[in-house]
Amino acid sequence: MVPLYIAELRDLSEPEIERVSARAADLIAGHGDDAQYGGRHQRSARTAIAHGLAALARADGGVTALGIHACTRPHVGCPGSSNAHSSLSKNEE
């Protein structure tokens, strides 16, 4: 779901991204237990987590959480990049 939401958020303005982020944070704060343990708001809470990760993917270096790395721009050390370690010196490898 995260890649789908990244695509959906791609053309939104920063104020719109802030609204999506705030709504996701409110849902997660109020129903995060449903996301983890099941409950009436399980679907909306899990959707909010995916929306939150998609919004955070826009940050420099993206976001890594829950075993997922999401980013919208190439960056040094990106686990999704085949040349993730290309900027490391020989001593760092």
Tokens of 64: 């890594």
Residue carrying structure tokens 């997922």: 68
Residue 81, pLDDT score: 66
Mean pLDDT, residues 39-62: 94
The answer, yes or no, to whether residue 93 has pLDDT greater than 50, is no
Mean pLDDT, residues 22-31: 96
- The residues, ordered by sequence, that sit 6+ positions from 65 with a Cβ below 8 Å of its Cβ are 53, 56
Per-residue pLDDT of 10-26, as tens digits, reads 999 999 999 999 999 99
